[in-house]
Structure 1
Amino acid sequence: MSAAAPPVIEIRGLAKSFGANKVLDGVDLSVARGESLVVIGGSGSGKSVLLRLVLGLEIPDRGEVVLHGTPADARLRARFMQDFGMLFQSGALFDSLPVWRNVGFRLLREMPAAKARERAIASLSRVGLGPEVADRMPADLSGGMRKRVALARAIATDPAVLFFDEPTAGLDPQRATAISQLIRGIVSQTGATAVTITHDMRSVRTIADRVALLDSGRIRWQGPVQAPAGGLDSDPDPVLRAFVEGRPLDAAP
């Protein structure tokens, strides 16, 4: 019998402070191949810092990030980053470039412009945007369309790992639902490993296979969205219940 594959991402005892502000204080978490993990938590709970540590944009005070079973160093992380896509909270589109060049930004380093444009238009189609959008400028797009273009860019190279940073931030409920459904569909169709950080519980229920609650610098709770007992909507943990139900922790249920 072959040994089980190691997690794609494993976080061991990760800690990070900024001055006297202790943001993370010993986070342990793993993401299996093909799993869609959503990390939830209140504003300032350290979700974005955790993501930046995984990507190597911040250096931890202690602990380590392990990629495919090997502690991450600069060389390993560089290889890992060649096969990932990311949807930034703001979209982070280049305002001076037309949509197709935004979507095909990484592709343009690997192939002629005509081929990159063709691939970009195909990627736009996967998120429900037609070829007529390709030559528009980001400033001409609605908020929902900008998110779709940013998602098309994230998946344009068919990456094995996807990161989503507050993917529904700034969207109305209908557009937020549409983006969440797109993300779920793409993750399911491609088999990609996905990590999403959000506080939008509607998108959590659509996107997640498993949820982790970050609180007071540590993973307070983790489990499936649905389960006969112990799932997101049934576990009695008081901090989880308050967050999911959108009420102050000391308020009666």
Structure 2
Amino acid sequence: MSPVLETRALTKSFGAQTVLAGVDLAVAPGESLVVIGQSGTGKSVLLKCILGLETPDAGQVLWQGAALTAARRPAFLDGFGMLFQGAALFDSLTVWQNVAFRLRARLGDRKARAVALEKLARVGLGPEVADLHPAALSGGMAKRAGLARAIATDPKVIFFDEPTTGLDPIRAARINALIRDIVTETGASAITITHDMTTVRCVGDRVAMLAGGRVWWQGDVSAMDAATEPHLHDFIRGIWRP
């Protein structure tokens, strides 16, 4: 099966610091890929290069088998969703307006609100939340509202950036379960950036270990515990070597 999204020899430096040193990754249709690694290993930069927020120094991002050029990027962005670290809701908008942010100009407020209420219900938030502002939400509720926004347009590709950061274990487990269920139900391809091994085991089909700007190991989540690659071995066991 051809990948829906792929990076080939992706390289990115900031001054003398090389952050990505030739990253090769591929995500199949309907697959959930989790990218793990310590803080500062290039996970977020990788995501920004895929989304076009950073320009790679070398290498390619491919979408549906062809280079993701400037001309093709609007179509790609029209079919993606993203759950940001910290949810990143707009403080000045109500919850439903946040969820329907990309839909209001296209559908009008009445239809966009109906979609927002449907997506909020999907993540376990009732209509009583719709007209609240983000400041009135708990951390877990804000994450769920952010997840509702990520799926509002029924995207084919969804990105999750540290989806459980700042949540207690019970709320984190709920977010992980929602992500897994939504990816399975929609058939979307997913890329999750995380350092939380519970998230890896819950939401991932495959995992890629990023260290020093390179992918050192990738394979099925079910195979990672038996892997002997040192970076992966130490990371999943929390072993620090000076």
TM range (shorter): over 0.9
Do residues 219 (structure 1) and 211 (structure 2) align?
A: no
**Secondary structure in 2 aligned to 1:44?**
coil
* 1:85 and 2:77 correspond: no
Q: Give the secondary-structure state (helix, strand or coil) at the position aligned to 2:225.
A: coil
For 2:116, the equivalent position in structure 1 comes to: 120
Cα shift at 1:115:
1.0
Structure 2 SS opposite 1:85? strand
Q: CA deviation at 1:249?
A: 3.5
SS in 1 for 2:200: helix
Contact 1:239/1:249, CA 8 A, preserved across alignment: no
Alignment partner for residue 130 of structure 1, among 121, 126, 133? Answer: 126
TM-score, normalised via structure 1 length: 0.94
Name the TM-score, length of structure 2 as normaliser: 0.98
Residue number among 4, 9, 17 corresponding to 1:13 in the alignment: 9
Percent sequence identity over aligned pairs = 60
Structure 1 partner of 2:226: 234
Matched with 1:110 is 106
Equivalent residue letter for 1:191? G
Counterparts of 1:195 and 1:14, CA distance in 2: 16
How far apart, CA to CA, are the structure 2 residues paired with 1:92 and 1:137? 13
Alignment partner of 2:184: what SS?
helix
Q: Residue type matched to 2:238 in 1?
A: G
Aligned 1:1-253 pairs, distance under 5 A: 4=1, 6-226=2-222, 231-249=223-241
Moved over 4 A (4+): none
Deviation at 1:151, TM superposition (A): 0.2
Question: 5+ unaligned residues in a row in structure 2: which ranges?
Answer: none
Unpaired runs of at least 5, structure 1: none
1:90-135: CA deviations, max 9, x gaps?
2110101110000011110111211111110000000011111001
Query: Aligned partners of 2:117, 2:53: CA distance in 1, in Å?
Result: 30
- Over the aligned positions, Cα root-mean-square deviation in angstroms equals 0.8
One-letter identity of the residue aligned with 1:206:
C
Deviation at 1:80, TM superposition (A): 0.5
